[in-house]
Structure 1
C-alpha cells in the first residue's frame, strides 16, 4: 500500500480525507485508536478534512488497495415490540387459514388440507370437474389466508330459497322451511353440486358450511367476523377506569424534549434520570393502592402480595402507549450536575471535595419534590373532606370515664 506524503500529514491529524474514502496517513502510530481496527488495517474516519480531486486520489492510493465500504447500521431500540405474528397461537391460526400442516394446541399434528372424499350422489358432482379444476378451487380458496374472507367467499356460493312444496310423510319431526343450493366457481363458470361435494372440494367441515347458511337464512349479508378468542367473559381483565388512571399517572410526571439532539428524537420525551419504571410503579401504588403499598418490604413487592396493577402490566402500558425515556442525551446534560462535577474535579482541598461529593450524592431532583407535594396536597384534601363529612353528620362522640 503506497500513500503519498504531504505536509498536511501530522501526528495531531492522522486521519486524512482522500475524497470519497478515508485512509490512514503514514505518520500514524500503531497505538493510535481508530474505527474498525479489529476488522481491517485500513482505518475509516468521519473527521472532516481537506478534499482532494479524483486524480490526486488515484496517485495517492495504488490500484491494489481495497477500501472497505462504509455500511450504515440501524440502531436497535431499547423497547421491545409486541410481535403478535410470531406468537404460537397466531402462527397456528395462520397456518390453519392457509390450509398448511400445523400442530394444534393439543400437540397433535394436523395434516395439510386436501380434497375430501367423493360424494357418490346421484348428481355425480365429482365428474363435472376435472382434477386440475379441483386443485385450483382448493388453492384459490386457501390463498387468502383469512378465515373471514373465506367465509364471505363461501357465503357467495350459497343461495337460500323457500321450500316450494311440502309433503310430510308421517307428520313428525321438524318441517324444512328453506332449501340451499351450493355452487362451485371455476374461473367464470359456476357448477351446482351437493353439500357434501361442496365441503369436500373446499376442504371444510359441514358444521362450518351450516353456520354460514344459517347466517344467510337470518338475513345477514356477510358471514360474521372471526370471534375466536374474542369473548367478553374475562373476569381478570383490568377495567378501563384503572387503565385511564394509569395513563393519567404516567402523564403527571414532568417531561421535556431534547434540545440539541431534537432532530434525532423529535417525538420522544425524557423523564427525570432519577426515575425508572419500577419507581414509578411504586409511586403509583402509594397514590392509588395505599393498602398494598403499606405491605411492601423495603419498597420491594413480595410474591404473596398481588396488587390490582402489577409491575408487568404497568410496564406494558408504559412501553406501548408512551414514547418516553429516562435521563437525557449526552448533548443535554444537567447544568447543576456538570457544575458540581467540574468543581469536584478541580478541587484540591479534601474536605471541600468530600462536601461537594456529598452534595451531589444527596441532591434531590425537583421531580421528587413536585410529586410528593402533589401526594401531600391530595391527602390533605381527602382528610379535610372526611372531617367535613363527620361534622355534617351531627354525631357527637362521648368518652367513657
Structure 2
C-alpha cells in the first residue's frame, strides 16, 4: 500500500469545520457527537409589548436581519454587530430587587431603511435567533473604549509539545530504513524513496518494537506520521521518471551484453 505525503490544512480540521458551521448558524455535530439544529428566527414579542415592535418591522425585514447576522460567520464580527445595536441607558426609575446582579440597562435598535428603530429585547433576540447569554457575553467583551475584544478561545498557546528526545528517536528510526535517491533528479533534489512495500502503518509498528526493545518512550501514530510527512523528505514510491530502460537493461544483462552497453551506460550516468 503506497501513501502520499499529507500537509495540514486547518480549515479542513473537524473542530474548525464545526466552528464554522456553528458561527454560520448551520446544523452541525458537536464534539460529543450530538447533532445541533440550525438557527431559526423566533416569533415576535407579545401583543402586550410597550414598543409594539411587531407593527414596526415586517417579517421580510426580520428575515433580512436574521440572514445578515448569520452570514457574517465570525463570532467577533457578530459581537461587534450586536454591540452596534445596543446602547446603554439610565432609566428614569430603577426598582432593583435585593440580590439582583443586573447593573445596566440597554436600548436595542435595528437599522431599517437607514433609520434606527427601537425594539424590545425579546424582539431583538428572537429576530436574530440568539439568547441572553450571547448578549451578556457581548457586554462583557467591551473594553474601556466600547470596542469588542477578540475571541481568545483556543489561543492560550498551551498545546502539548513533542519532546526533543521522542522526536529525535523517531527521526533516527526513519533513517534506519534503506533509501534511494531519485534516478534522474539526484543532482537537483534531496528527496529519497523507501521500498514500495512500506507504508506509515508498517513503519509505526516497527517503531513501537524498536522503542520497546531499547526501553524508550514512544509517540502516538499521528505524531510519527506528522514527523515523517512534514520534517523529512522521504517518499514511498519511485517516481515515473526513474523507470529507465537503459539502466534496467544494463543491470539485468549478462557480462557480454554489459561490455557492449558499458560506454553508452557510463555516458548516460554523466548526463544525470
Q: Do the structures match in fold with TM over 0.5?
A: yes
1:293 aligns with 2:233: no
Q: Deviations over 1:269-326 (max 9, x none)?
A: 225659875558857985xx5xx3336xxxxxxxxxx943134421133224555325
Q: Which has the larger radius of gyration?
A: 1
Q: Which residue of 2 aligns with 1:197?
A: 123
Q: The residue matched to 2:253 in structure 1 has which SS? A: helix
Q: Which residue of 1 aligns with 2:254?
A: 346
Change (3 A) 1:310 1:88: closer
* Residue equivalent to 1:215: 141
Which consecutive residues of structure 1, in runs of 5 or more, have no partner in the other structure? 1-76, 296-305, 349-401
Is 1:260 matched with 2:212? no
* Distance of aligned partners of 1:314 and 1:104 in 2 relative to their CA distance in 1, 3 Å threshold: closer
Residue 157 in structure 1 maps to residue 92 in structure 2: no
* CA distance in structure 1 between the partners assigned to 2:163 and 2:13 by the alignment: 25
CA distance in structure 1 between the partners assigned to 2:96 and 2:155 by the alignment = 44
Residue 316 (structure 1) aligned to one of 208, 226, 232: 226
In the other structure, the counterpart of 1:173 is: 99
Partners of 2:226 and 2:9 in 1: how far apart? 13
Count residues in correspondence.
248
Tell me the C-alpha RMSD between the 2 structures.
Answer: 4.8
Checking the alignment, whether the CA contact within 8 Å between 1:183 and 1:190 is kept in structure 2 is yes
Deviation at 1:134, TM superposition (A): 0.5
Cα shift readout 1:347-387 (whole Å, capped 9, x = no counterpart):
59xxxxxxxxxxxxxxxxxxxxxxxxxxxxxxxxxxxxxxx
- 1:243-279 CA distance string (max 9 Å, x none): 764686589799997573589xx77722565987555
TM-score by length of 2: 0.64
In 2, are the aligned partners of 1:137 and 1:186 still within 8 Å (CA)?
no
Q: Deviations over 1:32-62 (max 9, x none)?
A: xxxxxxxxxxxxxxxxxxxxxxxxxxxxxxx
TM-score, structure 1 as length reference: 0.47
Q: Indicate how the Cα distance of structure 1 residues 192 and 245 shifts in structure 2: closer, same or farther if over 3 A, else same.
A: farther
1:378-397 correspondence to structure 2 within 5 Å: none
Q: Which has the higher helix share?
A: 2
Query: What SS is found at the alignment partner of 1:216?
Result: coil
Shift of 1:208: 1.1
Matches within 5 A, 1:221-300: 221-225=147-151, 227=153, 237-239=160-162, 241=164, 245=168, 249=172, 258=182, 260-261=184-185, 269-271=191-193, 273=195, 277=200, 278-279=202-203, 292-294=212-214
* Residue segments in structure 2 that go unaligned for 5+ positions in a row: 257-272
Instruction: Give the distance between the partners of 2:243 and 2:175, measured in 1 at CA.
Output: 23
Displacement of 1:111: 4.2
Q: Find the partner of 2:69 among 112, 133, 141.
A: 141
Supply the distance in 2 between the matched residues of 1:322 and 1:270 (Cα, whole angstroms): 9
Residue pair 2:190, 2:233 contacting (<8 A) in 1 also = yes
C-alpha distance in structure 2 between counterparts of 1:156 and 1:247, whole Å: 53
Deviations 1:185-224 (A, max 9, x none): 3353322222222111111111111111122266672243
